[in-house]
Chain A
């Protein structure tokens, strides 16, 4: 709008997210107060639980790995002007890719099988994102509704597949058999099994880390975050994705076909969400478990909004949410009165303030800033 209403870049990138986070935390603090606990104490327990020990850090980074993937997924779609609520289903379906490839090609050596299974995760996720993208581009179905529907379809489909196809005969738990194993004494790695850092340090250095599911997928997540940055800002296709999202008319003028870009962006978005399977299925649970995504796909929305859809911001926001998740778990142990779902409340508040009420602070913030300048 008018030049006066515009905020300087730093305020947009750092101040508004920070302010929104503070408000979200304040409101959460009120909820903690309502249930008769001390918010500051709760905060302290969360912090200590997450960053006060190696174990805490391990879990924090493990959660963050998931959130980096799903956050990037939402962000890439955002850049193309699309709202992908389907990260949950895309990640879930991707688990099938990792598992099926992992189990079918069990005989392959792991240096071959692990990349293959990673690729399968991405491709299965990409497929589950591409279809809604295709329907939006070619048939005009609204992406938001279609991706929601695809979450539910994935949910039912996976119950069926896991239950009827992947569940070993005679086993009660609805999950696949293990996709591999690792023996830290003999360094014997089979299948598409990504050993945890604990297992690796034990095998290599004989050092015993606290038990956490953190595994090398974390580095994959960082590499992928860099890759997404490179794609969006250093490739021609990434340029086209951003152009369509920022100004479709200008993109058409430039000879870019929005339909193609929508499908490409949704496939990439789905693929990124699909990589969550690498951390969870291959790296943490080593099998396909029912409903294994556990809402991480939705956390991605909060992470992408908080991180301003920029990979650096997303990594930081993912770490923050990793902290909240790990801290929240510790908090619920230390204070059973405060349920772990407190994190979901904070998440909801972040999405509300960062996404839907984004404009709320802007007017008075810019008034404040310009007043200071005058």
Chain B
């Protein structure tokens, strides 16, 4: 029982499943802290996953796959930026459009390139980001207690460790750097930024670019680490779950990590509890699956705590008020 809920395997899979959530959540965090609502996380991850899987399939190089995924995801991010910043368009509508474009394009191009109905062929190990043993940890695997811990911490792909490192980096950059300060300011009161002589559009583009890069990494992870190929709709709503986590985290980096780990844990449990019976009772995994969304609705309705988005998010900036 305890093994099922808190065993090394469950927790290790929690980390694996959390990584794309964390990346997307950080992407959303950068974007929304600058005042740009990003419903298109899902689409950017998906097109990133497709780009990564395709590149890896063609060239067999995981790093090249990562690079291409970032570039492609970035292109989609810039479309969103153009619509939201230059054209002052509706950011939600733009995000919806990007999700559809990504979903459609990935399958259409994938079908043409690989003729498997939108799938990409299974990737060989060199084309993937494979689990790596942290130096020294493998020696611990057989030690009781400590070994379990070592197996949770070690044995993930390099992208996982990069992702985890991005959390403190994000928190630090937002809190301590000039860029972070200005970015936070522009999401709260762009007028204050403009009158301080700083370009609102430029800051917001920078945020959108970061979001694009992070979604590209997330897509790469999903296609080359979590799985070994691209299949249609393989992001499976992770972009939206990341948005939910972002709300939970109140648009802050460390809480975002915890929220994503929680949601990742729920995902892991959803898989592991499939068909598991406690006596005659079977936990319906669907309820575990919907839990993150239900929790977010309850939170947003202000029944537990309060979540306050950046004040200017979603509002196109113009000098006149």
Check whether chain A touches chain B (CB < 8 angstroms). Answer: yes
Hey, which chain B residues are within 8 Å of A352, CB to CB? Answer: 79, 83, 93-94, 97-98, 101
Partner of B93, one of A145, A152, A305: A305
Hey, which chain A residues are within 8 Å of B162, CB to CB? Answer: none
A36 and B286 contact, CB distance less than 8 A: no
Using CB atoms, name the residue of chain A closest to B106: A341
Provide the bound-state CA to CA distance between A301 and B302, in Å.
Answer: 29
Total cross-chain contacts (CB, 8 A): 158
B118 and A339 contact, CB distance less than 8 A: yes
Number of interface residues of A (CB under 8 A): 50
B96 and A149 contact, CB distance less than 8 A: no
Q: 0/1 per residue, B158-170, Cβ < 8 Å to A?
A: 0000000000000
Residue A360 lies at the interface, judged by CB distance under 8 Å to chain B: yes
A344 and B293 contact, CB distance less than 8 A: no
Chain B contact residues, majority secondary structure: helix
Provide the bound-state CA to CA distance between A131 and B286, in Å.
Answer: 21
Residue A178 lies at the interface, judged by CB distance under 8 Å to chain B: no
Q: Which of B12-20, B145-153, B210-218, B236-244 contacts A (4 or more CB under 8 A)?
A: B236-244
Interface centre among B90, B237, B300 (most CB of A within 10 A): B300
Interface centre among A35, A356, A357 (most CB of B within 10 A): A356
Provide the bound-state CA to CA distance between A348 and B80, in Å.
Answer: 13
B97 and A349 contact, CB distance less than 8 A: yes
Hey, which chain A residues are within 8 Å of B195, CB to CB? Answer: none
A339 and B112 contact, CB distance less than 8 A: yes
A345 and B296 contact, CB distance less than 8 A: no
Residue A355 lies at the interface, judged by CB distance under 8 Å to chain B: yes
Interface size class of B (residues with CB under 8 A): 35 or more
Residue B284 lies at the interface, judged by CB distance under 8 Å to chain A: yes
Provide the bound-state CA to CA distance between A298 and B100, in Å.
Answer: 9
Nearest chain B CB to A45 CB, angstrom units:
15
A153 and B112 contact, CB distance less than 8 A: no
Provide the bound-state CA to CA distance between A368 and B281, in Å.
Answer: 70
Hey, which chain A residues are within 8 Å of B243, CB to CB? Answer: 145, 148
Residue A142 lies at the interface, judged by CB distance under 8 Å to chain B: yes
Partner of B104, one of A35, A135, A342: A342
Hey, which chain A residues are within 8 Å of B98, CB to CB? Answer: 348, 352
A148 and B286 contact, CB distance less than 8 A: no
Residue B259 lies at the interface, judged by CB distance under 8 Å to chain A: no
Q: Which of A108-116, A157-165, A281-289 contacts B (4 or more CB under 8 A)?
A: A157-165
Provide the bound-state CA to CA distance between A284 and B287, in Å.
Answer: 29
Provide the bound-state CA to CA distance between A341 and B88, in Å.
Answer: 29
Find residues 55-88 in chain A having any chain B CB closer than 8 Å to their own CB: 83, 85
B96 and A343 contact, CB distance less than 8 A: no
B300 and A135 contact, CB distance less than 8 A: yes
Hey, which chain B residues are within 8 Å of A321, CB to CB? Answer: none
Hey, which chain B residues are within 8 Å of A359, CB to CB? Answer: 87-89
Apart from A160-B284, A298-B100, A357-B82, list 17 A-B contacts with CB within 8 A. A31-B105, A83-B90, A83-B92, A145-B296, A145-B300, A153-B294, A156-B287, A336-B111, A339-B110, A339-B111, A341-B111, A348-B103, A349-B97, A352-B79, A355-B93, A356-B91, A357-B94
A: residues with CB less than 8 A from B are: 31, 34-36, 83, 85, 135, 139-142, 144-146, 148-150, 152-153, 155-157, 159-160, 163-164, 298, 301, 305, 336-339, 341-349, 351-352, 355-360
Q: Can you give 7 A-B contacts (C-beta < 8 A)?
A: A141-B301, A156-B287, A301-B96, A344-B107, A348-B99, A348-B104, A357-B82
B: residues with CB less than 8 A from A are: 39, 79, 82-84, 87-94, 96-105, 107-112, 115, 117-118, 232, 237, 240-241, 243-244, 247, 284, 286-287, 289-290, 293-294, 296-297, 300-303, 309
